[in-house]
Structure 1
Amino acid sequence: MTAVERAVRTDAADALCQKAYAGADGPDCGVALVAVGGYGRGELAPYSDLDLVLVSDEGVDTAELAQQVWYPLWDSGVRLDHSVRTLPEMLEAFEGDVRVASGLLDVRHVAGDPNLTLRLRTTVLAQWRRRARERLPELKAMVDGRYRLVGELAHLSVPDLKESAGGLRDATVLNALTATWLVDVPASDLERCRRQLLDVRDVLHTLAGRATERIAPEHWAGIAEGLGLDDELAAQRHVRELGRRIRHLSRLAWRRVDDALRRPTSNRPRRPELEPLAPGVARSGGEIVLDRGARPEKDPVLLLRAAAEAASRDLVLAPPTAARLVREAAPLPEVWPAEARQQMVRLLAAGPGMLGVWETLEETGALDLVLPEWERIRLLPHASVIHRFTVDRHAVETCIEASGLIRGVSRPDVLVVAALLHDIGKGGLTAHSVAGAPIARTVATRMGFDPAAVDLVELLVRWHLLLARVATTRDPDDPATIEAVTAHVDSPEALELLTALTEADAKATSAQAWTSWRAGLVHDLARRVAAALEYGAVPPAIPAVDIELPELPVSGSKVTVEPVSDGSRVQVFAPDRVGLLADVAAVFALRRVPVHAARAWAQGDTAISVWDVAEEGLDARALNDQLDNIASGRVDPATRLAPRPAEAGELAPTVVIRPEASEQATVIEVRASDRIGVLHLVCGALADLDISVRSAHVSTLGPQAVDVFYVQEAHAGALSETRAAEAAHAIRDRISPPAAQVRREAGPQGTRR
């Protein structure tokens, strides 16, 4: 229905423009009013602009005519984007700007001299085809820059229907590629996706009451209703599927452009040359196809063999080839033969070449034949905003990251399969690592892994969050910390695989999830767990042996600063006292310096804290002076760092005692919105109760700060239950926003993920 509505809107706009041109006594020769952009393509959304150009032959004066045409349009209330150009000026703009060039391919006659419009269209199209080889690299660079800036439509939490990869802009670019005659794009498939995205945009404009391309979370329900879909999740999946399909077509088209540009113009064979690569598999240009004589009905491994060859060579798995194998290939047996498992591992370990091949397997339905469990997570959005991809794409990116780590593990095959399946349990009510472990066992068994490898895959999926969680929230010097890992990971082989999977998972999540600080914590914990597994002894934490205590000045504290890849690392040395950590946290809070992560501990009578912060070029002397001013009372941070009012929908902070985490101290876990001053407020609340922070572990993931404190009485050991409860209440009261209109989330621990 919306396609009809777009046509009606376009016809109405044409009639309005034609009336304005006629009312201005626009000539029938030498001048034309033309539509470009979305209006030129007849794709007007409810709140779209009218993109118009008044074009004339050289020497024709159109200044007065232009004003007489534009004013009636302005008076009508339409949104107008207009310009006046001579035909030579139009062609000059076409030659000078590839964005303009691709846009002018859609020029459409509205009023005036149709022959002038025809000359413009014919010249533009001829020049576009003639200069395609020199202009397409420029267009590709522009497209890549847009991808880096905006992201992918299929994975953005707030998708941009126009500019994101897989959006309407890409569909226009694909039509421009087709117009070069260098490559072919499946026109019917592209047009179907493009029209359905236009339908989504029409509904979005109506919901928003204005021109917008971005789907905010509150729009999904209305989009589902407007498109006749079941619910918000169905609407998200529909839009993301369209974006993924257009992105896939774009990726294939650009690979074919690259292949065409590498081929000399004189080298145009009448029939494709085949280079045999493996049984039944050949290379044709930049694509993997079936070799002559291939017998899909006799070869159940042919699909995986072709996919592995394409991925490992970073070539395109030709979609018609994959589609044919879906129709004709012999099915794999219930337990795969060894070659099938080996080819699957080759595919998963291929690195960046895996992504395009995996997309082809998905788009052609081939993935359903080898991994039907994938449907559970297909285009499933992540609950946490820190993830840059949907769950299925994150799993693929984890495989790509794991492929760079296979040299350091004894079972690369187990690592990449676990990377693929580590989030397979998402989408249900049960914790995804718990739900995913038996699914991973089933898949690994079907792939033909031996029982020991199946056990490893299941263990890795079940505990893939363990190392990151323990490393960032527990004190490595506490024996209970090591036991928290060895209780579930009981062999050096499993530990090395889990360490690699932890790194791959974090890198595939976002840059925030694998900073140099977080990497150091995970690898230090893994080193200590490995020693415990091998020798039954735990080596000291790396910071305790690596940091040499400096001589403290008379003022009592010493601050050092060193640059790191993502900011600065600040070390603070001072006589150990209650409240010191609160004062150091105040220094950063008052300077509005975000803290990525921190650790604090005592070494003899000296307190040491190490802070990774998101600012470069910090002055150690200035930090030290400010710390002295706060410690002496000359500066009081309390008023400036008081909790701000809660934002709408903000979760309440949670404070939980973790009795299982240590036998030597009381462990308090604090989760709150990540904002300047929270750490100072927590430490200040503890200091007011004369409670000593023996070790602090501070980390930030997305919008949430997760801070864990190992605390003791100032001159004794762990807190009593009464004192622990008192401390938890004091922290909660100190960090809760005033008159907190916050959203509370159910659960025994009140935590969120």
Structure 2
Amino acid sequence: MTAAERAARTAEADELCARAYLETGGGDTGVALVAVGGYGRRELAPYSDLDVVLVHDATTEIGDLAEKIWYPLWDAAAKIDHSVRTTDETLEAARADLRVATGLLDLRHLAGDPNLTLRLRSMIFAEWRRGAKERLPELRRMTRARHELVGELAHMTVPDLKEAEGGLRDATALKALVATWLVDIPHADLERSRQALLDVRDLVHDIAGRAADRVGPEVWDELARRLDVPDAVAAQVRVRDIGRRIDHISLTTWRRVDAVLAQETVPTRPRTPGLERIAPGVALASSEVVLDKGARPDEDPLLVLRAAAEAAERDLLLAPATAARLARESRPLPVPWPAEARQLLVRLLASGRGLQEVWETLEETGVVERLLPEWSRIRSLPHASVIHRFTVDRHVVETCIEASALIRNVARPDVLMVAALLHDIGKGGLTEHSVAGEPIAREVATRIGFAPDEVDLVGDLVRWHLLLSETATTRDPDDPTTVALVAEHVTSPEMLSLLTALTEADCKAASAKAWSTWRAGLIRQLARRTLAVLLARATGTRAPRMKEADRAVPAEVRADDRAVSVEVERTDDGARITAIAVDRFGVLADVAAALAVQRIPVRAARAWPQDRYAVSVWETPDGEVDAALLRQQVAAIAEGRLDPRERIARQVTSRLEPTVVVRPEASATATVIEVRMDDRPGVVALVCRTLADLEISVRSAHISTLGPQAVDVFYVQEDAAGVLSDERASQAAHALREILRATTA
């Protein structure tokens, strides 16, 4: 699929439209058939509609000409989007609807009166330029709203080639911006990227056999074959890189539009902007960071970092031409880097939201690869986990942005920011990325001039950046083994402080689900307990015993051993359900079953014993849980009046094979069973009921859902004997595998 094929499709459609016009008696004066939108641009995909307008002068009577034209097109199986307007109505429609206005900028003559088409086209462009300053803010709002709704082409799990940020709609908007004569763009670069994305769109149409702009997971393998790249990941990188380039041009152009709109008058001719020196060798010109007069990148290798840091901290545009010159002419930094270079890098990374756009400019112009050759490992690399909203490289930049807000919480902001930059640098290979990333991070930290002890700190943070989040959500914080596991790898309060901040930044950058109120509380609680152990170790004292705070037991539960208390508390991101009852076999299964019966999604949960009571707390994104109804259903299940098994044991299709693993190293006082499978209602209930039937007690449970996968960890014991024997642990694991597989197609 190439531009030549699009041109051939367009020529065929043009001939069809022209023939339909002529054969139905269309005149050559005062009326014309014109193409608009993508058809007007000669960019028909295999299954595109033909956007056509029959235009006529107000004094020209056309009768039923329109219907006579449309019927032959329909008979030819053409899909048309058609309208009939006078020239005045066309202009009025453009004034009333911005989408119509931008579509008309691509108006092209098909048949009829060419002078009418030429006159109308001239009026449309004159109107567009005359009203540009009033209309562009609306176009800006529409563009931002679309981006927020659809997402970024470079980072979406299922990218939309047309509507996404960096997609074809943005490329069309850029042409509309240029038509205002207010700004200019790198035409050759945009056209190259636009044509490449049109090629991809054509292939997706052909593969799908229909008009399709979204690239689903099932398309990538075939798309890779047709693009002649090694695999689906390479195809994703290719497509995402195109989107990034268009997005970067769009962001840069809109920055310049904003600057023009902020002026009281629109400049009528180009003028040389004045330079305001803001740092050695760096100046400000028309709200863009550029090089000062006389600046010599070949003599000052720090210029590139200085210009980038100034632009990011001020949230200004680093002029792409300046970045390209810096990439081309800058002398390589000495190894190790001088202290000032490292400080400038940290300033850049800690600049906050301004980092994103500046970093994109540095990437697009090749500066990042010169400063950090390792970056090519993760550029445009898709994440394996759908919980991540961005590709790996953009996730890293977002992590730096999130970490920049936490630098006052740590003693070594420079170490935090560099660790944030490098924490996922090991992704893309077969080895666990934190393991693969550690030696790379150490090499980079050494190259940029950190001292040996600082290099160790950066390397350790990269190696263990998942430790707090994984441990907090899948292990019992009350079990001494849990804190001991963390303290084994996090050996100082300084490292713990940095790791806690890095964990928060990493989770927030991944998605809102990854840093919910619940997960944040678990991670901070684990960090506090680990700090107590580290301080006690340093002073030679015994760490204080910490445990989950006791919950107040309602009077009805204290008075009646069969009663179950269910309370619901609204939270910022859903609701928190607390259930308290006298501890017995199956009490956790009853609560879990009631949640499953009501189809209440469980995002996370914890359960633990408190004296003779069982306490469980469940986090759900559903903020409208009916506590009374839930309480009634728990009681009905406990009393045998409601059998939930048919509802929760229905066979469902599962993408992930259920796994059940016994973790003997995770606790000295209980047997830990870890269950991983697709997230779906009823899993916790099935597990707890199966264990209850085996007369195995669930001492505590830790439920965590991220994306499509549920990770459920159960600390179990014999009723009176503590840790399960190997035989009993094997029996429990086998029973759980059987029940989960039996309900999974």
TM tier relative to shorter chain: over 0.9
Q: Does 1:662 align with 2:663?
A: no
Selected match of 2:637 from 609, 630, 646: 630
> How big is the shift at 1:186?
0.5
Letter in 2 for 1:120: L
**Which stretch shifts more, 214-223 or 130-139?**
214-223
> How do 1:92-491 and structure 2 match up within 5 A?
92-265=92-265, 270-491=271-492
Determine which of 621, 624, 627 is the counterpart of 1:620.
627
Once the two structures are TM-superposed, the CA of residue 167 in structure 1 deviates from its matched residue by: 0.8
Letter in 2 for 1:39: Y
Letter in 2 for 1:76: A
Instruction: Compute the displacement of 1:558 (Å).
Output: 1.1
Greater alpha carbon shift after TM alignment, 125-134 vs 223-232: 223-232
Superposed displacement of residue 615, structure 1:
1.0
Distance in 2 (CA, whole Å) between partners of 1:568 and 1:542 is 23
Cα RMSD (Å): 1.4
Amino acid at match of 2:553: L
**What SS does the aligned partner of 1:487 have?**
helix
Partner of 1:747: none
Q: Structure 1 residue 711 and structure 2 residue 700: aligned?
A: no
User: What letter is aligned with 1:704?
Assistant: Q
Deviation at 1:226, TM superposition (A): 2.4
- Distance in 2 (CA, whole Å) between partners of 1:215 and 1:621 is 45
Return the alpha-carbon distance in structure 2 between the equivalents of residues 275 and 550 of structure 1. Answer: 69
Residue 595 of structure 2: aligned partner: 588
Q: Distance in 1 between matches of 2:732 and 2:228?
A: 53
Residues 410/66 of structure 1: CA separation in 2 closer, same or farther (3 Å cut): same
Offset from partner CA, 1:244-282 (integer Å, 9 cap, x none): 000000111111111111122167783111110100000
SS in 2 for 1:288: strand
- What are the within-5 Å matches in structure 2 for residues 495-514 of structure 1? 495-514=496-515
Does structure 1 conserve the Cα–Cα contact (< 8 Å) formed by 2:224 and 2:234? yes
Taking the aligned partners of 1:583 and 1:36, their CA distance within structure 2 comes to 62
**Match of 2:555, SS?**
coil
Q: Distance in 1 between matches of 2:738 and 2:661?
A: 13
DSSP-derived class of the 1:656 partner: strand
Q: Quick one: structure 1 residues 393 and 228, their matched pair in 2 at CA, closer, same or farther if it must change by over 3 Å?
A: same
Give distance in 1, aligned partners of 2:398 and 2:652.
38
Matched residue, 2:535: 534
Q: 1:561 & 1:519 partners in 2: Cα distance?
A: 20
Secondary structure of the corresponding residue to residue 647 of structure 2: coil
CA shift for structure 1 position 544: 1.9
Q: Runs (4+) of structure 1 moved beyond 4 Å?
A: 266-269, 536-542
The unaligned stretches of length 5 or more in structure 1 are 742-753
Matched, 1:646 2:647: no
Measure how far apart 1:375 and its partner are: 0.5
Deviation of residue 543 (structure 1)? 3.7
Query: What does residue 70 of structure 1 align with?
Result: 70
Q: 1:712-739 CA distances to partner (integer Å, 9 max, x unpaired)?
A: 112220111111111111111112245x
- What residue number does 2:613 align with? 606
Mapped partners of 2:299, 2:35: distance in 1: 56
Deviation at 1:63, TM superposition (A): 4.5
Distance in structure 2 (CA, Å) of the matches to 1:234 and 1:621: 53
Q: Does 1:57 align with 2:57?
A: yes
Residue 385 of structure 1 aligns to which amino acid in structure 2?
V
| Separation (CA, whole Å) in 2 of partners of 1:343 and 1:8 | 53
**Secondary structure of the equivalent of 1:92?**
helix
Residues of 2 paired with 1:367 and 1:212: CA distance? 35
Percent identity among equivalent residues? Answer: 63
| CA shift for structure 1 position 542 | 6.3
Counterpart residue type for residue 592 of structure 1: R
The 2-side partners of 1:578 and 1:732 are apart by 20
Inter-partner Cα distance in structure 1 for 2:48 and 2:465: 48
Q: Which amino acid aligns with 1:477?
A: D
Q: Could you tell me which amino acid in structure 2 is paired with residue 624 of structure 1?
A: R
2:553 to 549, 574, 581: 549
Shift of 1:220: 2.1
TM-score normalised by structure 2 residue count: 0.97
Deviation (angstroms), 1:538: 4.6
In the alignment, is the contact (CA less than 8 A) between 1:153 and 1:243 conserved in 2? yes
Counterpart of 1:421 in structure 2: which amino acid?
A: L
Letter of the 1:552 counterpart: E
Once the 2 structures are TM-superposed, how far is the Cα of residue 79 of structure 1 from its aligned partner? Answer: 1.1
CA contact (8 A) 2:606 2:703 kept: yes
Which amino acid is the alignment partner of residue 739 of structure 2? R
Query: Which amino acid letter does the alignment assign opposite residue 174 of structure 2?
Result: L
- The reply on whether 1:48 has 2:76 as its aligned counterpart is no
Task: Judge which range, 361-370 or 531-540, deviates more.
Answer: 531-540
Distance 1:737 1:513 in 2: 30
Deviation at 1:59, TM superposition (A): 4.2
Q: Could you tell me whether the CA contact under 8 Å between 1:570 and 1:611 is conserved in 2? A: yes
1:608 deviates by: 0.8
2:37 aligns with: 37
1:551: Cα distance to partner? Answer: 2.1
Provide, for residues 642-668 of structure 1, a one-character-per-residue CA deviation record: whole Å limited to 9, x for no partner.
Answer: 142324xx2210000000000000000
The 2-side partners of 1:129 and 1:33 are apart by 24
| Aligned partner of residue 506 in structure 1, secondary structure | helix
Structure 2 counterpart of 1:746: none
The superposition leaves residues 415-440 of structure 1 with CA deviations (integer Å, 9 ceiling, x where unpaired) of 11101100000111111000000100
SS in 2 for 1:388: coil
Question: Aligned pairs, how many?
Answer: 737
Q: Is the 8 A contact 2:564 2:631 kept in 1?
A: yes
Displacement, 1:314? 0.3
Return the letter of the residue paired with 1:54. L
Structure 2 residue 735 is the aligned partner of structure 1 residue 730: yes
Paired amino acid for 1:100: V
Letter in 2 for 1:394: H
Distance 1:245 1:120 in 2: 34
Q: Give CA-to-partner distance per residue, 1:208-260, whole Å, 9 cap, x none.
A: 11111112223223223323334333322211111000000011111111111
Task: Give how far 1:88 is off.
Answer: 1.5
In 1, distance between residues paired with 2:544 and 2:101? Answer: 65
Deviates more, 1:200-209 or 1:457-466: 200-209
User: How many angstroms apart in 2 are the aligned matches of 1:323 and 1:634?
Assistant: 73
Cα distance in structure 1, aligned partners of 2:693 and 2:229: 56
Output one character per residue of 1:457-479: Cα deviation in whole Å (capped at 9) or x when no partner: 00100000000010001111111
Deviation at 1:598, TM superposition (A): 0.6
CA contact (8 A) 1:645 1:737 kept: no
CA contact (8 A) 1:699 1:706 kept: yes
Q: Quote the Cα distance in structure 1 between the aligned partners of 2:516 and 2:482.
A: 22
Q: Distance in 2 between matches of 1:327 and 1:528?
A: 51
8 Å CA contact 2:277–2:284 kept in 1: the answer is: yes
Describe the shift of the 1:728–1:71 C-alpha distance in structure 2 as closer, same or farther (beyond 3 A): same
Counterpart secondary structure, 1:671:
strand
Work out whether residues 529 and 538 of structure 1, in 8 Å CA contact, stay in contact via their aligned partners in 2.
Answer: no
Give me the whole-angstrom Cα distance separating, in 2, the residues matched to 1:737 and 1:81.
51
CA distance in 1, matches of 2:610, 2:59: 85
Contact in 2 for aligned 1:558/1:624 (Cα 8 Å) = yes
Cα offset for 1:406? 0.8
Tell me if the contact between 2:478 and 2:547 (Cα under 8 Å) persists in the aligned partners: no
Other-structure match for 2:705 = 700
Displacement of 1:187 in angstroms is 0.5
* Matched residue type, 1:625: Q
Asked whether 1:597 is paired with 2:604, we answer yes
CA distance in 1: counterparts of 2:685 and 2:20, whole angstroms = 66
The offset of 1:207, in angstroms, is 1.4
Against the structure 1 CA distance between its residues 569 and 540, is the aligned structure 2 distance closer, same or farther, given a 3 Å change threshold?
A: farther
Question: 1:28 is paired with a residue of what secondary structure?
Answer: coil
Note if contact 2:660-2:673 (Cα within 8 Å) is conserved in structure 1: yes
Q: Residue in 2 aligned with 1:745?
A: none
